[in-house]
Amino acid sequence: MSATPEMHSVDVNGFDAAALAIVEHALTEDIGTGDITTDGAVPEFARCTAELVFEESGVVCGLALAAAVFERLDPDFSVEIVVPDGERVGATPAVIARLEGRARAVLTGERVALNLLGRLSGIATATRRYVDEVAGTGTTILDTRKTTPGLRLLERYAVACGGGTNHRSGLYDAVLIKENHIRIAGGVGSAIAAVRAAQPGMPVEVEVESEAELDEALAAGAERILLDNMTPERVEASVKRVDGRAWLEASGGITFDTVRTFAETGVDAISIGALTHSVRSLDVSLEVS
């Protein structure tokens, strides 16, 4: 990061309406009937400047949301981005944004803004580690539906900021036949046939746990196959067995320590639930100057 970084303005009005609704809900949850401490201690029209600071290295994510927090409380608030979303901060502490506006807005919005920044930057940072770890293999790192309820939109954005690829948004936009579907439908082939009848033209992905299920998926014409809870050796054997006839995803129990080994099998993608279900938030602070 240079000593005199380029400054970036934030267009909050262009941010996704669904994301702004999340910000609104978070503020309502925190403020309730009013910030009794700030309203009591800080004069109504006092103004201040402040900085958002990364206290540890990582990938920045969520600055437009932080801006939305402060501008919701003070429409005349200004936020200048020093390090934009998706960029990595090395040496710390490091200023990632500068704020100017009504002091009450700064103090009242502080925790919500920091919660969002810390959570999303933690996801982006974890994702970047995985992406860097598999660099050169041709394998894509995917997210999963193991997200915080209500925050999937934001957490998927953080994965993308970290260089990962978003899988399906939910149950409505992609077919993924899993173990319990297969059991109830009566087998891999039966499940695929039923889904094709219900959703003609929709690409089908199916989860398999054995060579027999893999062969059944291929015979049924599945375009995408998820290799579930297999060892690297079994994944590699499956890649050879499929021989390009379907797109292959590995999932289940894959950690940072093993992801490179799985990627070197030649699998197309690896999905990592830990990117969103157990990641640690980054340490981000707000300092009034």
Domain boundaries, the chain: 8-131+280-288, 133-277
Quick check: is 240 catalytic? Answer: no
Residue 78 reports pLDDT greater than 70 = yes
- Tens digit of pLDDT for each residue in 223-278? 999 999 999 999 999 999 999 999 999 999 999 999 999 999 999 999 999 999 99
- Catalytic annotation, pick one of 74, 155, 205, 207: 207
- Catalytic annotation, pick one of 24, 132, 178, 233: 178
Residue 10 reports pLDDT greater than 70 = no
* Better-scored residue on pLDDT, 50 or 9: 50
Quick check: is 243 catalytic? Answer: no
Quick check: is 228 catalytic? Answer: yes
The domain defined by 133-277 folds into TIM Barrel (3.20.20)
Mean pLDDT of the 214-226 span: 98
Quick check: is 207 catalytic? Answer: yes
Going by pLDDT thresholds of 50, 70 and 90, the confidence category of residue 174 is very high
Quick check: is 111 catalytic? Answer: yes
Answer whether CATH 3.90.1170.20 is correct for domain 8-131+280-288: yes
- Catalytic annotation, pick one of 87, 223, 228, 283: 228
Q: 96 φ, ψ to 5°?
A: -110, -15
- Catalytic annotation, pick one of 47, 98, 145, 146: 146
